[in-house]
Chain A
Amino acid sequence: MTDRIKNTFGALAERGEKAFIAYIMAGDPDMNKTLVYARALIQGGADIIELGMPFSDPIADGPTIQQAAQRALQSKTNISKIFALVRTLRKTSGIPIVLMGYINPVLKYGTKRFFEDAARSGVDGLILPDLPLEEIDHVKEYAVQSGIDIILLAAPTSDRKRLVELLRHTRGFLYYISMTGVTGSQKKMGHAAFESIRWIRKNTQKPVAVGFGISTPRQAKTIAALADGIVVGSAFVKLIENNKNASARIAALTRSLKSAVNIH
């Protein structure tokens, strides 16, 4: 049982800071690079690392992350290799590590085995965008046994009644999708989403992090002001796509986003 996610949000709150959560795709373009890039995120000051687990048919992702998944699959990335990467990262860092991917590769790996191996490797949380609350029983028992947080997503289409349910069942934090759309979308966050996040923070102690479509420090600052943290993914994936060695740029973007979320 790890409490790394809970402790991280706790410590940040005490300091009056917001969480900066960074996403990259594991194995994009290969595992060695992902190790280097994850360390650049840590160096740059990310509070939580999200590692994408590639899937051939990612229905919640826009073109940027779809292509990252394709590159990762071309370099033969699979769940076993991602666990090995997490074990390596764990040797030098206590940063919370969350895996994000689709349910089918998890089922194929074997759900029980997945959670046991994930916990043993030092994984703290799991986000499965195609496993809504209704289907959570497919993983819940094993998640609880392993101590891994199942982080649920909420969307602007989730009504108040559903938000209550999502908040009750999510572990670690609630991942709020800023707009109706896929990852990397250019759509702006709407009024309903702002209202929902305000309502969540008023009515619960659980942290809420906002993601999907946040790429600039300016957006990060605005949205972080009303949440407990923000998630940025596609912006990092684009740096990786466009640069042979993206380490310095990744660290720099992390620093600017991290400082943006803490300006009040």
Chain B
Amino acid sequence: MENHIQIRNLNVRIGNTQIIHDVSLDIPDGQVTAILGPSGCGKTTLLRSMNRFLELTEDSHITGEVLLDGKNIYDQDVDVTEIRRRIGLLAQRPFSLPMSIYENVAYGLRIHRVNNSRNLKPIIRHYMELAGLWDEVSKRLHEPATALSIGQQQRLCLARGLALEPEVILADEPTSALDPISAQHIEMKLQELKEKYTIVLVTHTLRQARRLADHVVFMYLGEVVEQGSAKEVFENPQMERTKAYLQGSIG
């Protein structure tokens, strides 16, 4: 199996606090990799290092490498917008852009000038269908995105990200702000999408990880304690900390 994203000796410091300690990791292609661990263990920071989002935080210092197809995304000659096009992000809560439902999905295509000036409508319909949103919004495409429910907005954000045909989807606790039904909806979508995309999922619910993950990374205090196939880690954890976490005594 190919490894699309490889992390080598990653250290992240924000201000004077070391958040990530010397993490090295391979994210397998075409699978769901779940990053698990108690809150504050650096899961989200690790995720945000993969699309160079940490640069938006002042005082962040990053050393080590994040390789995408063998190329370090932190290299000087790499364009950050290109990285973020290839690596999509689904955030904790849906952050709709201040424009219509239609324009939200078209946004990425417009800024990257994909299919320059050609009719975008069929494309947008395609991705809305992919995100399972089309039937609900096809009659109200030009209403503000905020007119949608939170669950619908999260699927809108998914469609918006998918429209750029990313290679990797980073999902940062994507269901934590949603009601159970919407959450289930998103989970189903992720389940379908892993056929085509590499998915990295940060989650703090063990059950979600059990349902979705093929590969599991367990973090604790900024370090990777254990990683392996979901089956191995869940059924036969090697490290004490992982066992404790899985049994619910830490985290």
A and B pair up: no
Binding site for B on A (CB under 8 A): none
Binding site for A on B (CB under 8 A): none
